[in-house]
Amino acid sequence: MSGGEPVAGGAGPADGCAGPADGAAGSMDGAARSVAGGADFADGSAEQRFAALAVATREPLVALAERVLESAEVTLLSVPGPATMLVELTESVAGQRYHLCEVVVSEASVTVAGRRGDGLILGADPERALAAAICDAAAEADVFAAEVEALVADALAALAGARARRAGAVAATRVDLEVLG
């Protein structure tokens, strides 16, 4: 498909490839941090939606995108596909930024009823990126907006659970030097 080409209803993100966040809470947290810069968005913003769709569970994400495809005109702005993204960190001593590595991502851009949506997924899964872009655009166009917000809420709840589990695991490894001394 080329940019600007309408997507046929039911086509695209339905092939069943597993995404990096499926079944792995640790990768879910990493993906959200990569896509959202580690930020927590609690205001229902487009940034929050974008980050949550990046880590949403594949099956409900794809199912909702297929519903949007059946009921609204979806136009590709770019062919979904892999890309690389530079991971930049700040070291803790001098506060200087450095480039850690590049990671593979999949990206897609579409319009739904004339409103733009973008998807960026950690890993090589262009179909899942397309589904995220469709859901993002659908929310912007107020097409299945409540369903998109429910999907976002579920993804954010799963992300919060993964962070709490990780914090608990890290807390169990902390050593209190006052007790030892």
DSSP 16: -
Least confident segment among 6-20, 36-50, 106-120: 6-20
Placement of tokens 């200087």 in the chain: 96
For residue range 16-58, list pLDDT tens digits in order: 333 333 333 333 334 444 444 344 444 568 999 999 999 999 9
DSSP string, 49-91: HHHHHHHS-HHHHHHHHHHHHHHS-EEEEEEEEEEEEEEEEE-
Residue 68: closest CA among 130, 112, 124? 112
Residue 26: closest CA among 129, 169, 153? 169
Q: Is the pTM of this model over 0.85?
A: no
- Taking all residues of the chain, what is their mean pLDDT, rounded to a whole number? 80
Query: pLDDT at residue 10 above 50?
Result: no
How many residues belong to the chain? Answer: 181
As given in the structure block, the two tokens for residue 2 are: 């080329």
